[in-house]
Structure 1
Amino acid sequence: MDVFAWIDDEARTREQAGLVRTLRPRPADSGLLDLASNDYLGLTRHPETIRGAREAAGRWGAGATGSRLVTGTTELHAELERELATFCGFEAALVLSSGYAANLAAVTALSGRGALVVSDAGNHASIVDGCRLSRAETAVVPHSDPDAARKSLAARAPGTRALLVSDSVFSVDGDAAPLTGYAAVCREEGAALVVDDAHGLGVLGEGGRGALHAVGLAGAPGVVATLTLSKSLGSQGGAVLGPARVIRHLVNTARTFIFDTGLAPAAAGGALAALRLLAREPERAGQARAVAAELYERLTASGLTAARPDAAVVSVRAPSPSAALRWAADCREAGLSVGCFRPPSVPDGISRLRLTARADLTGDEISRAVETILRTAPAGATDLGETL
């Protein structure tokens, strides 16, 4: 009996639907114009970021050597946490090995069996998994709908602990969540607000301090933020920010913190160097937004259907999953790297090219990217309507 025969059946189904995913190892210098990564501020290869990572590895070694509660917390981790909290406007911070781990930590440790989690339908997979692992009752509400969230929270039994969780900027279309509306609902209904600011840090708020800072919610008593160090800060890792008592609670209860090896010193050093660079060069945030706006305007003016960006993600609709895959491949062959989002990564089933608007893109590079996308657009790409 072939116990894995079912894998072949599923592989055939994926291939017929145009949903096969493959790994493409890239060389250190691919020569491609990059509009696919999440390096929003162009800091991954910045000399200061690299130097911070190199010096941290030289001083602390290649790895953290253990979990944060054993040997995996260095003075460098503590320094990064203090500066992250101060920069973003929160009382305290806790660094984890990834943004995924940070979301799992926040959602599971702040809810649990008998609690209610209200989750926006557009949330990232890490939030979805956090809801599933929390053992709490989960109510998935329509995308960016504070009234629906209010109804779910109001319907819970008296005394039930609750939290509302949402991305700040949704990774598929780059649209911003109604954070002030969500915060008002939480205040009215006595719930905590947990916001994943992975795509807001470095792009939104004063000097890139994040989406919560932009709307005056940073440091609010009932608000917790999660973020990643692998996007605007060009490194790797994640963090949870919030009231000091919340952070102490996570240290004692969050399984993805307690049972995971600490973030490698090189990643912590690189992130800290990038954070300090952003603090000195706050204009990078506005530059990323300006590039996104220009990409959107030029592509839609040429007939493509795209979502108006609220941060640094520009999402362009494709006619089908197979067309999106071919479009991305044709762009790559023409020297441009773009993201390709297909089901199940997109909750509405619409396949897209996903473009990253990096702050360090030049005018010539933007023009080259637009021209390449238009030249390689598949049949029907300009007949999909005005908005995504």
Structure 2
Amino acid sequence: MLTISMVLLIEHTTGSYATAGASAAVTGVSMALCAPRAGRLADRFGQRAVLVPGIALHAAAVAVLITLALAHAPIWALFAAAAPAGATVPQVGPMVRSRWAAALDQSRSSLMATAAAFESVTDEFTFVIGPVLATALCTGVHPAAGLVTEAALTVIGGSLFAAQRRSAPRVQSSSARDAARHTSALSVPGVRALAVAFLGIGSVFGGMQVSLAAFTQEIGNPGINGVLYGIFAAGNMLSGVVYGAISWRRGPRLRLLAAYAGLATASFPLWLISSTPLLGAMGMVVGLCIAPAIITGYTLVEDLVPAAARTEAFTWLTGSVALGQAAAVTIAGLLTDHSGSHAGFTVPLIGTAAALVVLLGLRGRLVSRPRGVVAGGVIGHRPPVAVD
């Protein structure tokens, strides 16, 4: 709800999608830069120690942003307020995935893909509800109602999650923390490749948010924006359910490449469509291709990264999505202001095609790390001999 509520509020107070998109982009960049640091701190000191102060700071930052927007503050002030709003976004999603990885490590690691699919489905359920709720609140109640609700839900949900101590991963020993202090999850080549690829997923989210909002404004029916974005997210949720129920014979690297190829192909027709029903249908097809890419990426992280740096690794992917989304809302906002919503729909196509090219070039880095197996008491045997 955060970025779409920002876009709707700031567009209402400034009349510019470019300004609204740029403000949301500042939030996304700030989150992308700060999320991995928050994940690393959570790996070292525990999730609760990072989460509790984070949700309080986020609520305060959003309150400042709302106040400045309604006061018609200058653009630089909106940017200054958008930065802490993004920097303090609680990284609940990566923390949940880290808990799953810790619970399923070693003995039940084959279930990680199913757990990742389950998390994708629950995430996408919020992506179905969130845009509809944010749009309804901003257009039907008050332009700032979406951000107020986002902050309230963050505080309530974050507090409830922080209270769940039993499922939290164990905090590493002091020696492990000292070692982790000098080792970043980004030092794993596969994580770097995935982080670059997830920029493409962010370009889809950001490009769709701005372009759908501009499209519904152009046709004189802004209230349907949340419905169209919800259909897009519903496709994502549906594919997550199906993906998690299938026992895949192909390896995750091949599945990831196939998912990105499908995503780039599905994004191509968006900028050519003028019909609202057809745009909704095509948006669902795009959504169907997102969940497999996200799920497979998170599954690969569980294999590529040791437990001591796993939350940080997940936040690199989340941060990459936010960074890609930030760039997309900025570029799509400029394009829609200049040439209309059809130009904005080219952003998901370009972003996913570029991510596919990168993945093809770096596919050799997406090789799972070997599980450490300690063999104790190995005895050397003499070669067999024939016995009468």
Structure 1 and Structure 2 fold alike (TM over 0.5): no
**TM-score, normalised via structure 1 length:** 0.27
Higher strand share: 1
TM-score in terms of structure 2 length: 0.27
**Larger RCO (CA within 8 A; separation ≥ 6):** 2
The structure with the largest helix share of the pair is 2
